[in-house]
Each structure stands twice: as structure tokens, then as C-alpha cells.
Structure 1
Amino acid sequence: MRVEQLSTRSDIAALLERLDVDAGGRKILAAKAALHFLYIRDLHVGAANILKQDALSVGADLAVPKGTIVAKTPRVDALLLATSRQLQELSRKELAQPFGLKELAAELKRFAGMQKPGPVKVMGVVNTNEDSFFAGSRFKDSAAVAHIETMIEEGALIIDLGGVSSRPGSAAVPEHEELERVKPVIDAAYAHRLYERAAFSLDSYAPRVISYALERGFSIVNDITGLADDAVAKLCGEYGATAVIMHMQGTPQTMQAQPEYNDLFGELTDFFESRIAKAKAFGVEQIVLDVGIGFGKTLEHNLKLIRDLEHFRRFGYPLLVGASRKSMIAKIVPSEPSERLPGTLALHLEAVRNGAEIIRAHDVKAHTQALKIYEALYHA
């Protein structure tokens, strides 16, 4: 007999298949293997005591502050540790309980039912403006088209074209000027039918520019304002385009002026709920969510969003992360944008581990290789 300790990140489905476990057993065991840490804020102390006992009864547990059992304070924060199977059982138990636990039951059910993320796609970045923070992403006309073809060959499944910088402090650009910058690349990509080889995304929130791109093979709108403009939402609905809804606090001109949140995850959750509802109201069916790394966030905010990204899988939409060569890396290890590929790969692989399905990157070849190695390690 020999015992091997396996990583908790091992592909449980593959392990159960190797053991030839029957189909029903695989489903049950997979649910038992998925462990969730749910941080519950502002819980009624009575609810905390009930939830604690119910959690223990199904084999889970709830960490609560000292004094909770004697109701030292009226409301507390708590940490629930439970498998997917235990969350399902708890969601049924709490439906009959007071103190807001019925509402909590719906949340527990949502987390318990989250699907496994799909295959990861690399979104290659191409900028036609002169002021993008990373010089290696700036191309014009024929050079941009050649770079797009190279990125597709290197493994990019999505190409993200932008004509306006959104770096902190960047200036706004008139709509007609933005169109002049991206028009030659859009036209050339359409003429060469490159949209048949990869999905094309426009990084813009200008309706006129978006309309031009959607008429010429583009199928994704990457909107850093998160569909703030009704006209953009309407275009996405009319063309059947995928809308990338990104969160940003403030504007590119103001977003990094001491960004603050009373409740980071709560505020982003409320934002996504509101903008998803808006998208659906305009007939948008395909949605991607982007937490907006570096867009109105401190280093601590960015790190927490990547580390706990799985929280946003609750919405059931693919998650996009774009930390490529951003200044948050330099705040940990002083460096210029040209030196930040290793830090980028570390952040993006952690994002993938936590549920990201689309990685927006300047360096497609390096990301394709890193992701293949990651897949071989944990999903082969």
C-alpha cells in the first residue's frame, strides 16, 4: 500500500474518471471536493448563531467573533467554510429561518451552483494611438494588421483594437479623431476577413466608432464605462454583439486620485447587477464582466480582486482580467512597462486559477505558452 498526497487544485473530475467511479458518484464527490470560503458581512447575531449550528449539522463550519453566542453585538461578520454539497444543504435549511437567513439561502444556492470556468482565451491588445502606456502595443495601419496576424498565429482567439488611451490621466479624444485612428485597421482586417480567424473586439465607448466596427466584422464591444451610454447598449443589442462590462471608479482623468471603497466587493457587485440588468433591457445576450484592474483601484484593491475573483462568477458570465504590464507590478517590484512580463504572467495565472476565462494581454505568445503549461499541470 502507498499513499500519495495530491494538490487540492487537482482536476477532481479526471481523478474520479481514472478511478472509474460511476457517473452518479462522480457528481456527488465533485460537489464534496469543491471548498468555498464565504465571507458574510453584517449578519444579524441571531442569524449567526443559527447558521453556526446548521453549518455544523451538515459538516461545514462558521467562524464568528468572540461573544457571538451571547449576542455581544447586534450584528457580526462571519466566515463560512463549506463544500458545494454542504452549501446546497444549507441553502435548503435556511429557507425556513428568520433574521434574513431566507435571503442568504438564495446566495448560498447561487454559489453552490457555480459552473466550472470554460477554456481560457487570450485577448491580444493592439493600440493605434501614440500615448498608450506600453509602447510595444502601438501600431499603425499595415503594421497593425501584420501584428494582428502574428498574434492570431501565436494563439490569440480575440483581438482587442483601441484608438484612445485609458491610462490614468489620459486625455479624452473627439469621436471623429478616434475613428480616424482605427478606421484603416478596421477596414484592412475586414478586407482580409481576419474576423474569420479570431473574434474582434473594439476598446471604445464612442457610438459612432463602435457602429463602424460592428458593421465590419467586429463582434465584441469592450466598454471601459460599462455601458454607461444607452447608445452603446443599444448598438450591442441591435448587432448581437458581446458587451464587455468593465468597472471603473471615476474617469481615466480622475480614477487614480486616491480611490476609496467602503465595501469593494459590495460596490462592484451592485454595479454589475445594475449594468447587467441594463444590458438585458437593451437585448444584449452575450456579456463578459471585467473588474477593471487599475481603473480606480489601489494596489491592495487590485490584488484582492485578483485573489478573490471567484466571487464574481456568481453572475454566471465569463470574467475578463487585464493586468498586462500595469503599474501595480511596479508598486511591488520597481520596473518599467517593458520589464513587467514576468509580473504580468504571475497575476494572470492567478486570475485564471480563480476563474478568469479571458486574459487581455500584450504578449500573446508568452501567455499561450504559460497557459498550456498551466493546463498540463492541473487539467491534463
Structure 2
Amino acid sequence: MKIYQLGHITDKKAALKALNVESGGVDIMAKKMELLHFFIKDLKTPAANILKQDALSIGAELAVPGGVILCEKPTYDCILMGTRKHMETLSRKELAQPFGLKTVAMELKRFLSAKTYPTQIMGVINANDDSFFSGSRFKAEDAIRKIKEMIDKGATIIDIGAVSSRPGADEVSAEEELARMKPVCDIIKAEKLYEQVTFSVDSYTPVVVEYALQSGFTLINDITGASDDTLIKLAVKYDARLCIMHMKGTPKTMQSDPHYDDVMVEISDFFEARIAQCEALGIQRKNIILDVGIGFGKTLEHNLTLIRNMAHFKVFGCEVLVGASRKGMIDKISTSTPEQRLPGTLAIHLKAVENGASIVRCHDVAEHQQALAVLRAMQ
């Protein structure tokens, strides 16, 4: 007999079926193979003590500070840990408990029902001469050649913008932005390239967004997080999808000492509010994409926290986009110029995909296609 330790198994059901486990046992055992962790902020002390005992009674665990048993404070932060099977049990058990545990139960149910989407690559085209990475800057015919190359290399979405959103970038008039975008949009429409791939307009200027939508674009990538109802209404009018990105401040000010009491809580609350507004104006949740905004008003630690915990944002039932391609956070970890940051980009994006992201926004489509293919093979 020999025994060895297994690494992370992504497709647990497939592993069990390969072992010829009886069909009835596959679902049951798969839930026992998946270990989950939930951070619970400001849980009432009586609730913490009840949840601790309930978790222990089924083989799960609640990590709590030392003063909980003596009720030294009214609330505590906790970490709940256990298998998916444990969480399903607790999501039912806590419905009958007081002190806010019904809310905990309902939130667990939301997390457990989160949908998984197939991974897509979004290629980046900048129709300007000011973006931080020179390798993404193109105009008219050059942009079209690059778009066709990205399609051939495996991109299923092409994101085109005419205004730089790099830290400290100056604002551009709507007239200038449209003048930059119009030639690219006109060629896409004339050649019907929208039949081959999804086109995304990276803009929050209504006149530019509408021109792109009239040219065959079907996705609005709004870095201002749907703060302008006009963009939401345009998405409804043209039956387009909308990507809501979180940004603290503006591109001009966003990296001036950004601060959060809790970056996960603040961004989660932001998405909750923006999704509600979009739905109220007629966008279906399935047509909403969420982007936590890596590098947009965040420190390195904020960015790392969001990538580590990206699975959380699946709870909203929307696709999750990650966009860290060649960004400055890599330079803070390993000194580099934008031209030298492809390895760091791949590391971030692969971890984000493992943690729940389904759309990868990048400058280097071929390299990402290969890296994701290898990741899928290993999983």
C-alpha cells in the first residue's frame, strides 16, 4: 500500500467519478471535499457563542477572539470554517436562531448558490496616445489589425477606449473622445466584426457610448460604476450588458492616499447599491458584470485583499471581471516597468480566476490563452 497527499482538486465531482464512486455518493462526497471560510464582521456576542456551539456540533468551527465566552464586547469579528456540507447544514440550522443568525443563514445560502461562469479573455485596445502601457495604443486601421489578431489568439471580448484612466490622467472633452473612437467604430460596423466577437466600449461619456452601441458594441465598461443613470438607460435601450467598476475618487485623484475601514465591506456595499439601481431602471442581473477596480483608488494591500477574496463577489450572481494587466501594483512587489510586467500579470490573473473571476481583461491575449489552458489542464 502507498499513500500520498493530493493537491487542490477543482472539479471534485470529476475526480470522484474517475474513481468510479457510485452516482448517489458523488454529490454528497463532493460537498465534503470543499473547505470554505467566511469572515463575519461585527457578529453579536450571543450569536457568536451560539454559532460556535452549532458549528462544533456538526464538525465545523468558528474562530473567535478570547473575550467572546465572557461577553466582554457587544460584537466580535469571527471566521467560520467548514466543508460545503457543513455550511449547508448551518444555513438551515441558524434560520431558527436569534441575535441576527437568521441573516447569517440567509447569507450562507446566497454564497452556496453562487453560479460559476466559463472564463473569457477580454483584449484591451486604447484609441489614444496616453495610456500607461504603450503596447496597447492604436489608431483606426492599426487598431483593427490588432483586434483581428486578438480574435485569432482567443479573445471573446474586445474592450476599446479612447481616454486614459491611468492614475493622474487628465480629462478629455466628449468631442475629442468621440473623434478618437469614431474611426474605429465605423470600421467595426462596416466590416461587421461584431459578428465575430463581443465589443465593449470603455467609456462613461453618453454620446460616445451611444455611438459605439449603434456600431455593434454590446457591452458598456463603465469605470465610474454606473453612477450616471444615462448609461444604465442606454444599456436598457440597446439591450447591452453593463460592467460596473468600483473606483474611489477619479483617475486624477484616486491614488492620493486611498483609505477604507474595510475594503471588502465597502466595495460589497457599493455593488449591492449599484445593482439595485440598475435593476430598478430595467437591467437584468444576468446582464451586469462586476469589476472591483484593481488599482483604482487602492493601495497594494487593498488590491491583494480583493484578489485573495475575489470569490466573495460571486455572491451577487453576476460575472466577475479582473483587470490587473501590467498595472503598478506589480512594480510595488517586484520593481518593473509596464513592459516588464507580463509575468506578474499572469500570476495575478491566474489566481483571480482560481478565486472566482470569469472575465480576464488583458493586453496580452495569446499569453493569457496559453496560461489559462495550462491552468485548466492542471485543475
Structure-2-length-normalised TM-score? 0.97
- The Cα of 1:8 is off from its aligned counterpart by 2.3
2:324 corresponds to which residue? 323
- The Cα of 1:14 is off from its aligned counterpart by 1.2
2:313 corresponds to which residue? 312
1:128 aligns with 2:118: no
- The Cα of 1:114 is off from its aligned counterpart by 2.3
CA distance in 2, matches of 1:375, 1:210: 35
Q: Could you list the runs of 5+ residues in structure 1 that have no partner in the other structure?
A: none
2:84 corresponds to which residue? 84
1:212-251 to structure 2, matched below 5 A, reads: 212-251=211-250
1:296 corresponds to which residue? 297
**Does the 8 Å contact 1:187/1:216 carry over to 2?**
yes
1:51-200 to structure 2, matched below 5 A, reads: 51-115=51-115, 117-200=116-199
CA distance in 2, matches of 1:225, 1:50: 42
1:262-301 to structure 2, matched below 5 A, reads: 262-285=261-284, 286-301=287-302
**Does the 8 Å contact 1:32/1:85 carry over to 2?**
yes
- The Cα of 1:176 is off from its aligned counterpart by 1.4
**Does the 8 Å contact 1:85/1:112 carry over to 2?**
no
| SS of structure 2 residue aligned to 1:24 | helix
For 1:69, the aligned partner's letter is I
1:332 aligns with 2:333: yes
CA distance in 2, matches of 1:186, 1:208: 13
CA distance in 2, matches of 1:32, 1:175: 54
Superposition RMSD in Å = 1.1
Q: Could you list the runs of 5+ residues in structure 2 that have no partner in the other structure?
A: none
CA distance in 1, matches of 2:169, 2:156: 28
Q: Which contiguous aligned blocks of 4+ residues in structure 1 show a shift greater than 6 angstroms? A: none
Moved more, 277-286 or 316-325: 277-286
What whole-Å deviation, never above 9, does each CA across 1:19-78 have from its counterpart, x for those lacking one?
A: 233443222222222211111111111111100000011211101111211212221111
What whole-Å deviation, never above 9, does each CA across 1:76-110 have from its counterpart, x for those lacking one?
A: 11110022211111111111111111111111111
1:253 corresponds to which residue? 252
**Does the 8 Å contact 1:92/1:105 carry over to 2?**
yes
Moved more, 295-304 or 184-193: 184-193
- The Cα of 1:5 is off from its aligned counterpart by 2.0
CA distance in 1, matches of 2:39, 2:10: 24
CA distance in 1, matches of 2:263, 2:10: 30
| SS of structure 1 residue aligned to 2:282 | coil
For 2:98, the aligned partner's letter is P
**Does the 8 Å contact 1:238/1:283 carry over to 2?**
no
| SS of structure 2 residue aligned to 1:125 | strand
- The Cα of 1:215 is off from its aligned counterpart by 1.1
Moved more, 27-36 or 160-169: 27-36
| SS of structure 2 residue aligned to 1:356 | coil
For 1:42, the aligned partner's letter is D
CA distance in 1, matches of 2:24, 2:220: 41
| SS of structure 2 residue aligned to 1:68 | coil
| SS of structure 1 residue aligned to 2:69 | helix
- The Cα of 1:145 is off from its aligned counterpart by 0.2
CA distance in 2, matches of 1:183, 1:59: 61
| SS of structure 2 residue aligned to 1:69 | coil
1:50 corresponds to which residue? 50
| SS of structure 2 residue aligned to 1:232 | helix
**For this pair of structures, how many residues does the alignment match?**
377
For 2:76, the aligned partner's letter is V
**Does the 8 Å contact 1:226/1:247 carry over to 2?**
yes
For 1:91, the aligned partner's letter is S
Moved more, 306-315 or 66-75: 66-75
| SS of structure 2 residue aligned to 1:36 | strand
Moved more, 70-79 or 252-261: 70-79
1:41 corresponds to which residue? 41
